[in-house]
Amino acid sequence: MKIDLDDKITRFLVQEYVNKICHYSGEADLNFNVHKLIHTFDVVRIVQQLMKQTKPALPLKLQKQILNAAILHDLGRCYEFKDGIRLKNTDHGKVGAQLIRKKFPELKVEIQSTLYHNKLPSDKDPPECYPVLDYVRDADMLANIDYEIGHIDVFIIHIFGRNFQQVASPIIDDEIFQAVREKRSVYLAKIKENTLLTHGLWQLCWYFNLRTKAGKKHARQTHIFERFREIICEKLVPMTTPDKKNQTKLKKIIRQTFPDELFYK
Ligand SMILES: [Fe+2]
């Protein structure tokens, strides 16, 4: 995908990120911002594919809003680090929305969509953002999983830091099983054991969050959730226990909990 800096929305996003990247204060914030900039254009690429797969075609004005919202959704991410330290409890949706409001106050739908994109879909979602939010959230999720399939080791470090061994236990939080039984995404507040495995598996439950027909079709055609489950089994499980028998048992539990059929409904 070619990035078009003649587009004022793209230019604004890239400028914010490049300024942060050029003034990095440590390896962690440099890597994070580079990664998030790449991620943004992965989301843009996927959202374009989803719109293309949507029949009948969406109105052009709506397509432009979806595209803008995809470009801007993680703008606030590049404000997550200060002096090389990742700030806890930063709501990147809120930060991004404030920045867009300042620069482009007329982009009301894109501002609201950025504000809500990192929250679970609910009836609190502003109605004027439908279906922009659905497309952005679906593309965001699919891009994240796609990335993790290819870079699970980098992902672990992004989430847990270099001391991830502390959470590399064979425990799977009960909330994962409950969420699958109820066919819903995981309630993070209910997680008691935030282990490596729990974290990987709660992202498998993101499947239940897919909102657009095109997003569901994309997931089925690319087998993205099945492939992610296999990465969890083959790469994450061996990190959690050296015992081969335990590894086999864990893989069996994961494959039984998340069978292929689950991702075809
Ligand atoms: Fe994102």
pLDDT digits (tens, 9 = 90+) for 180-196: 999 999 999 999 989 99
Is the predicted pLDDT of residue 265 greater than 80, yes or no? no
Rounded CA separation 175/177 (Å)? 5
- Res 168: pLDDT: 87
Rounded CA separation 253/222 (Å)? 24
pTM across the whole model: 0.93
What distance in angstroms lies between residue 252's CA and the mean position of ligand 1's atoms?
A: 31
What is the enclosing helix (H) or strand (E) of 226? helix 224-231
The dihedral of CA 256, 258, 264, 265: what is its sign? positive
- Res 120: pLDDT: 86
**86-104 residue pLDDT tens:** 888 899 999 999 999 999 9
* Per-residue DSSP letter, 171: -
- Res 38: pLDDT: 96
User: Average pLDDT of 227-243?
Assistant: 96
- Res 170: pLDDT: 93
What are the angstrom distances between the C-alpha of 248 and each of 121, 168, 229, 233, 254? 35, 16, 14, 9, 10
Spatial CA neighbour of 257 closest among 156, 145, 172:
172
User: Average pLDDT of 120-139?
Assistant: 95
- Res 147: pLDDT: 95
User: Average pLDDT of 128-144?
Assistant: 97
Please name the residue that has the structure tokens 């498998």.
Answer: 204
Is the predicted pLDDT of residue 116 greater than 80, yes or no? yes
pLDDT confidence bin for 165, thresholds 50/70/90:
confident
What distance in angstroms lies between residue 243's CA and the mean position of ligand 1's atoms?
A: 36
Amino acid identity, position 168 = A
pLDDT confidence bin for 216, thresholds 50/70/90:
very high
Rounded CA separation 27/16 (Å)? 18
Report the mean per-residue pLDDT for the chain: 94
- Res 92: pLDDT: 97
What distance in angstroms lies between residue 39's CA and the mean position of ligand 1's atoms?
A: 7
What distance in angstroms lies between residue 242's CA and the mean position of ligand 1's atoms?
A: 34
- Res 167: pLDDT: 80
pLDDT confidence bin for 79, thresholds 50/70/90:
very high
Residues near 110 by Cβ (< 8 Å), separated by ≥ 6?
A: 65, 68, 69, 72, 100, 104, 132
What distance in angstroms lies between residue 14's CA and the mean position of ligand 1's atoms?
A: 15
- Which among 50-59, 117-126, 193-202 has the top mean pLDDT? 50-59
What distance in angstroms lies between residue 117's CA and the mean position of ligand 1's atoms?
A: 8
Rounded CA separation 92/188 (Å)? 17
CB 207 within 8 A of CB 225: yes
pLDDT confidence bin for 264, thresholds 50/70/90:
confident
Residue 233: exposure state from Cβ atoms within 10 A (0-12, 13-18, ≥19): buried
CB 66 within 8 A of CB 51: yes
Distance between first and last Cα of the chain: 31
Name which residue leads in pLDDT, 54 or 27.
54
User: Average pLDDT of 102-108?
Assistant: 98
Pairing of strands 81-82, 85-86: antiparallel
Is the predicted pLDDT of residue 164 greater than 90, yes or no? no
What distance in angstroms lies between residue 107's CA and the mean position of ligand 1's atoms?
A: 19
